[in-house]
Amino acid sequence: MNTKRDVAFLVDEQKISTGEAKEINVTAMMAAREMLGWSQKTLLFTGETLAQFLKQLTNTDGNSLFNVLVQENGSVKQEYMVWLNNRPIKEEHSLEIPLQHGDRVLVTSMIKFAAGG
């Protein structure tokens, strides 16, 4: 059975050949989709943490998604949301959480509602 996968990066060929690479399912919505140029991919990742994963994803301008989404204190900027397995990543340094094979990452901009009548 031959299935085609989108592979964003192959950091360590040896880790991939020995099965140490993790498949991470990524969904990009709204402004994040525009930044990345795609909405859904399954990517191979040989790093450890969500922060490392975001550092290896690059937008259409060549900047890392981490640099676009994350403040200096390590928390996600207010105008964006990052979710891991249906749970929001909000706290400072929470991007250091380890990723596992099959994890689902969702990146999106905040939805802003206008009040008024």
Report yes or no on 2 lying in a domain: no
Report yes or no on 80 lying in a domain: yes
Report yes or no on 8 lying in a domain: no
Distance between CA atoms of 107 and 90, rounded to whole angstroms?
12
Burial of 27-54, coded b for 16+ CB within 10 Å and e otherwise, reads bbeeebbebbeeeebebbbbbeebbbbb
pLDDT of residue 35: 92
Report yes or no on 103 lying in a domain: yes
CATH of the domain at 34: 3.10.20.30
Instruction: List, for residues 36-79, the tens digit of each pLDDT value.
Output: 999 999 999 989 999 999 999 998 888 999 999 999 888 999 99
pLDDT at 20 over 50: yes
pLDDT of residue 8: 47
pLDDT of residue 88: 92
The count of structural domains within the chain is 1
Report yes or no on 5 lying in a domain: no
Range of the domain at 74: 13-109
* DSSP3 helix / strand / coil % (the chain, rounded to 5): 20, 25, 50
pLDDT of residue 117: 57
Report yes or no on 31 lying in a domain: yes
Average pLDDT over residues 18-45: 90
Q: Quick one: how far is CA 17 from the chain centroid?
A: 23
pLDDT at 14 over 60: no
